[in-house]
């Protein structure tokens, strides 16, 4: 095989692919800005330590890490969350509240490449810092929905599964589990969808067999699909904490429903999220058909900034991936067609005409119009063919006869009509033509 190939799980973006990617980024950026989020960026290479024990075992095992020439242990970022916590933590006192930030960047995880999963992918991250209440969740989940719905996807295409690690902690405590057992149960719940009963094997090895009656209660909790069902399930073990939590659930659901987004939300306690730092509400977006891996994931992580050595600042956020989003848009026929047409094609008689045309070509480009012309001398007929094939709206013809008369011929490419315009009026006539006046 000739030459070199890219590494497995890394993508190359030829112009057509790149324009699709830009289409996705453009929508994300537009929606984030409409929601009042500010854009930031940060390094792709970070100290390894930032992810150790912060992101969780799964991500730690997927790190692209190495020792640099200065002997530092470093890793390509697998996610943005620890980094953005550092940024916000370092300036927390000086930042105006609410702190609503977003970014678009590339991330790296040494995963087994499969449909929707690569080793280099992009994420749109949006996070709110300093807001302890569920108002922040409403804002973020609404943004997440809009970031997908903005492409033309509807409630029949995707939905957001809303869950709560706090409620699991409170419920498992009420069932009699202690703090050392709870993480094992949550890990089993995380795996349950994929592995079924085998998911509980790890827990059994560490803590002994799970009493069937308790297991049934856990599995029943997993079946809950609505807020009233959740309230009923919790009624027998109501504590102050659980009552308060239910109040917060009501607020989130009511807020999103008031925005007209209720039908995108599904109560689903099967989502507990693999990342180690989540503390409260957690959520994931999926396609309705269930063909694809998660489109997005996020939740509250109130302790992470403090764990990194900064202030005690509550935080909540999510990330959408570009790979599954792109696949879903393709499946639904919502990928934009690749348009690569100039506004104007300049047809040039010969070298003298080329020189004469350059002043106009440059002035038109400087005014923001996209202008193409042949880089080499080509017969007139061929140039007209190229102009037609390019999709240009108009052609400017710089022939010897025209220049001798001090004019340029403007051809409307859609109806083939032509008019002569004085050389010194090219810019204004083209502007009027292209802006439809
Ligand atoms: P995550 O669930 O690990 O969360 O990733 C979020 C999204 O990124 C996934 O739903 C998926 O679309 C995409 N993604 C993740 N890994 C890959 C991969 N190997 N290939 C393609 N796409 C992938 C986080 O990263 C959290 N840091 C999100 C967050 C922000 N939580 C709070 N703020």
In the chain, count H helices and then E strands.
16, 16
* Co-location of 369 and 411 in the same domain: yes
* Co-location of 121 and 177 in the same domain: yes
Taking residues 335-359, what's their average pLDDT?
94
Per residue in 172-182, pLDDT tens?
A: 999 999 999 99
Number of domains comprising the chain:
2
Q: How many beta carbons lie within 10 A of that of residue 27, not counting itself?
A: 20
User: Is the CB of 24 within 6 Å of ligand 1?
Assistant: no
Residue 150 belongs to domain spanning: 15-331
User: Is the CB of 117 within 6 Å of ligand 1?
Assistant: yes
Residue 418: pLDDT band with limits 50, 70, 90: very high
User: Is the CB of 426 within 6 Å of ligand 1?
Assistant: no
CB 389 within 8 A of CB 436: no
First-to-last CA distance in the chain? 55
What are all long-range contacts of 412-416, with beta carbons under 8 Å and residues at least 24 apart? 413/345, 413/387, 413/388
Gap from CA of 117 to ligand 1 centroid (Å): 10
Strand-pair category, 281-287 with 296-300: antiparallel
Nearest CA to ligand 1 atom 25: 79
In angstroms, how far is CA 155 from the centroid of its own chain? 18
Per residue in 178-213, pLDDT tens?
A: 999 998 999 899 889 889 889 999 889 999 888 999
SS3 breakdown of the chain: % helix, strand, coil, rounded to 5? 45, 20, 35
CB 123 within 8 A of CB 164: no
User: Is the CB of 296 within 6 Å of ligand 1?
Assistant: yes
| Cα(134)–Cα(312) distance, integer angstroms | 18
Please give the helix or strand (H or E) that residue 52 lies within, else none.
Answer: none
| Cα(397)–Cα(403) distance, integer angstroms | 10
| Cα(203)–Cα(135) distance, integer angstroms | 35
| Cα(386)–Cα(116) distance, integer angstroms | 39
Nearest CA to ligand 1 atom 20: 117
User: Is the CB of 409 within 6 Å of ligand 1?
Assistant: no
CB 297 within 8 A of CB 284: yes
Nearest CA to ligand 1 atom 14: 321
* Co-location of 378 and 429 in the same domain: yes
Pocket probe mutation, ligand 1, options 297, 302, 308, 329, max atoms within 8 Å of Cβ: 297
pLDDT at 378 over 90: yes
- Give residue 340's pLDDT: 87
User: Is the CB of 292 within 6 Å of ligand 1?
Assistant: no
pLDDT at 1 over 70: no
* Co-location of 399 and 286 in the same domain: no
Question: What's the DSSP call for residue 133?
Answer: S
Q: What's the 3-state SS for 333-381?
A: CCCCCCCCCCCEEEEECCHHHHHHHHHHHHHHHHCCCCEECCCCCCCHH
* Single residue among 331, 352, 370 that ends a domain in this structure: 331
Gap from CA of 284 to ligand 1 centroid (Å): 10
Residue 4 within any structural domain of the chain: no
| Cα(404)–Cα(350) distance, integer angstroms | 13
Residue 338 within any structural domain of the chain: no
Gap from CA of 245 to ligand 1 centroid (Å): 26
User: Is the CB of 190 within 6 Å of ligand 1?
Assistant: no
Residue 87 within any structural domain of the chain: yes
User: Is the CB of 127 within 6 Å of ligand 1?
Assistant: yes
Taking residues 317-334, what's their average pLDDT?
97
* Co-location of 185 and 248 in the same domain: yes
* Single residue among 276, 305, 331 that ends a domain in this structure: 331
Residue 96 within any structural domain of the chain: yes
- The CATH number of the domain where 421 resides is what? 3.40.50.800
Q: How far is CA 94 from CA 19, 81, 87, 91, 304, in A?
A: 38, 20, 12, 5, 19
Residue 296 within any structural domain of the chain: yes
**Ligand 1 closest atom vs CA 111:** 19
Residue 9 within any structural domain of the chain: no
* Co-location of 357 and 312 in the same domain: no
* Co-location of 49 and 127 in the same domain: yes
3-state secondary structure of 282: strand
Tokens of 134: 């569920």
Gap from CA of 238 to ligand 1 centroid (Å): 34
| Cα(364)–Cα(379) distance, integer angstroms | 24
Residue 336 within any structural domain of the chain: no
Residue 403 within any structural domain of the chain: yes
Per residue in 235-269, pLDDT tens?
A: 998 889 999 999 999 999 999 999 999 999 999 99
pLDDT at 6 over 80: yes
Residue 58: pLDDT band with limits 50, 70, 90: confident
* Co-location of 327 and 384 in the same domain: no
* Co-location of 391 and 268 in the same domain: no
User: Is the CB of 295 within 6 Å of ligand 1?
Assistant: yes
* Single residue among 309, 331, 353 that ends a domain in this structure: 331
- Give residue 144's pLDDT: 98
Nearest CA to ligand 1 atom 8: 321
* Co-location of 137 and 46 in the same domain: yes
Pocket probe mutation, ligand 1, options 123, 163, 277, max atoms within 8 Å of Cβ: 123
Please give the helix or strand (H or E) that residue 38 lies within, else none.
Answer: strand 38-39
Pocket probe mutation, ligand 1, options 51, 63, 79, 281, max atoms within 8 Å of Cβ: 79
Gap from CA of 151 to ligand 1 centroid (Å): 20
Q: What's the farthest any 2 CA atoms get from each other in the chain?
A: 97
Taking residues 146-162, what's their average pLDDT?
98
Residue with tokens 């900064």: 310
- The CATH number of the domain where 94 resides is what? 3.30.930.10
DSSP letters for 154-205: -TTTEEEEEEEHHHHHHHHHHTT--TTTHHHHHHHHHHHHHHGGGGGHHHHH
* Co-location of 325 and 355 in the same domain: no
pLDDT at 437 over 80: no
Gap from CA of 429 to ligand 1 centroid (Å): 50
* Co-location of 114 and 71 in the same domain: yes
Taking residues 50-73, what's their average pLDDT?
88
**Ligand 1 closest atom vs CA 55:** 27
User: Is the CB of 79 within 6 Å of ligand 1?
Assistant: yes
Instruction: Report the candidate in 297, 298, 285 with the shortest Cα–Cα distance to residue 328.
Output: 285
């Amino acid at each position: 095989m000739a030459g070199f190939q890219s590494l497995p799980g890394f993508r190359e973006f030829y112009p057509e692919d790149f324009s699709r990617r830009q289409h996705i980024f453009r929508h994300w950026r537009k929606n984030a800005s409409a929601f009042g989020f500010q854009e930031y960026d940060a390094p792709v290479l970070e100290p390894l330590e930032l992810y150790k024990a912060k992101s969780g075992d799964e991500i730690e095992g997927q790190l692209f890490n190495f020792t640099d020439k200065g002997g530092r242990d470093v890793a390509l970022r697998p996610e943005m969350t620890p980094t953005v916590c550092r940024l916000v933590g370092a300036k927390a006192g000086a930042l105006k509240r609410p702190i609503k930030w977003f970014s678009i960047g590339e991330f790296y995880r040494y995963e087994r490449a499969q449909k929707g999963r690569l080793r280099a992918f992009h994420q749109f991250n949006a996070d709110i810092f300093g807001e302890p209440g569920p108002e922040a969740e409403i804002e973020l989940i609404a943004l997440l929905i809009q970031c997908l719905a903005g492409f033309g996807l509807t409630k029949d295409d995707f939905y957001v599964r809303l869950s709560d690690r706090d409620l699991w902690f409170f419920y498992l405590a009420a069932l009699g589990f202690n703090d050392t057992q709870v993480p094992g149960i949550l890990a089993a719940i995380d795996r349950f969808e994929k592995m079924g009963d085998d998911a509980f094997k790890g827990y059994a090895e560490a803590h002994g067999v799970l009493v069937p009656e308790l297991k049934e209660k856990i599995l029943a909790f997993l079946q809950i699909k609505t807020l009233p069902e959740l309230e009923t399930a919790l009624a027998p073990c109501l504590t102050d904490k659980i009552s308060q939590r239910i109040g917060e659930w009501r607020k989130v659901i009511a807020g999103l429903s008031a925005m007209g987004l209720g039908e995108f939300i599904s109560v689903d306690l099967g989502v507990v999220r693999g990342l180690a730092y989540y503390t409260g509400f957690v959520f994931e977006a999926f396609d309705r058909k269930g063909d694809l891996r998660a489109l997005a994931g996020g939740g509250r992580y109130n302790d992470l900034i403090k764990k990194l050595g900064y202030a005690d600042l509550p935080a909540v956020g999510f990330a959408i991936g570009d790979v599954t989003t792109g696949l879903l848009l393709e499946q639904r026929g919502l990928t934009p067609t690749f348009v690569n047409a100039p506004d104007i094609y300049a047809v040039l008689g010969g070298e003298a005409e080329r020189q004469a045309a350059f002043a106009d070509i440059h002035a038109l480009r400087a005014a923001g119009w996209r202008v193409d012309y042949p880089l080499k001398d080509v017969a007139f007929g061929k140039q007209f063919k190229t102009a037609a094939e390019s999709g240009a709206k108009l052609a400017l013809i710089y022939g010897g006869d025209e220049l001798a008369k001090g004019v340029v011929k403007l051809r409307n490419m859609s109806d083939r009509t032509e008019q002569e315009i004085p050389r010194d009026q090219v810019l204004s006539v083209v502007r009027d033509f292209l802006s439809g006046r």
